[in-house]
Amino acid sequence: MPRPPIAVFDLDGTLAETAPDLISTLNVIMAEEGLPPVAFSDARDMIGAGARALVERGFEAGHRELTPAHSDELFRRFLAVYGERLCVDSYLFPHVEEALTTLSERGYLLAVCTNKIESHSRTLLGLLGIADRFAAICGRDTFPWYKPDPRHLTLTIEAAGGDPERAVMVGDSKTDIDTAKAAGIPVVAVPFGYADRPLAEMAPDVVIQSFAELPGAVSRLPGHQSGGRDRD
């Protein structure tokens, strides 16, 4: 029996606006280290590469060098602090739930492939009320590889039981786009996330302005016509 088509989503900056809680956590770390807070407008562009890079970029903004050992220590501290404030001010982007429902009704499995650690991802998606929508939720620590390594994406698809030949990635950053391209999977990009340069420069297959556009955009991708069932 053919495996179903699958839509795989990044989390931070794609499904949800998580910047407020990530940045408040960063600024807890900055204060503990005697550094000034990073302004939200500056820190939002620092988010896309993961928690460790966020801390390192915060220290760079504070003009303080960070040794590898100290970076490891602060990364662990960041995860501990963030685990207590995962969903204080985070929220789903508009039309996410409707788009997930439409794709599910068309026969798509849904999955999450994120560089947030798996436990945080599951908890956050649960607090946002959509964890049960996904056949797999795979984080940075789920496999030995993480984005932009394409195996993070392909193993997420495998874990969910989807068809890699009828898969699509939805993300907001160069990391997501590079991962999907390396896996040979089309990618739909959203412009309201944490990319640090224009998405057009990264050449995703499609850019949508709202999740309301996602089902239509997916249906126009090769192999995804008729709800992705054209090979059944």
Q: Which domains does the chain have, with CATH numbers?
A: 6-17+90-228 (3.40.50.1000), 19-82 (1.10.150.240)
- Structure tokens, 146: 């993480």
Rg, Å, the chain Cα set: 18
Q: Residue 226: its pLDDT value, please?
A: 60
Give the active site residues. Answer: 10
Q: Residue 44: its pLDDT value, please?
A: 87
For residue 192, what are the CA distances in angstroms to 44, 48, 111, 131, 202?
A: 11, 12, 20, 22, 15
Cis geometry, peptide bond prior to residue 150 (ω within 30 degrees of 0): no
pTM over 0.75: yes
Q: Residue 41: its pLDDT value, please?
A: 86
Q: Residue 120: its pLDDT value, please?
A: 96
User: Would you tell me the crossing angle of helices 19-32 and 51-61 to the nearest 10 degrees?
Assistant: 50
Which residues does the chain have with pLDDT short of 50?
A: 228-232
Residue environment code for 158-169, b if the CB has 16+ CB neighbours within 10 A, otherwise e: bbbebbeebbbb
77-83 long-range contacts (CB < 8 A, ≥24 apart) are 77/29, 77/32, 78/25, 78/26, 78/29, 78/51, 78/52, 78/54, 79/51, 79/117, 79/120, 81/25, 81/28, 81/29, 82/21, 82/22, 82/25, 82/51, 82/120, 83/119, 83/120, 83/123
Q: Residue 232: its pLDDT value, please?
A: 37
Q: Residue 230: its pLDDT value, please?
A: 42
Q: Residue 227: its pLDDT value, please?
A: 58
The single residue listed with the structure tokens 């996904």 is 134
Q: Residue 133: its pLDDT value, please?
A: 98
Q: Residue 196: its pLDDT value, please?
A: 78
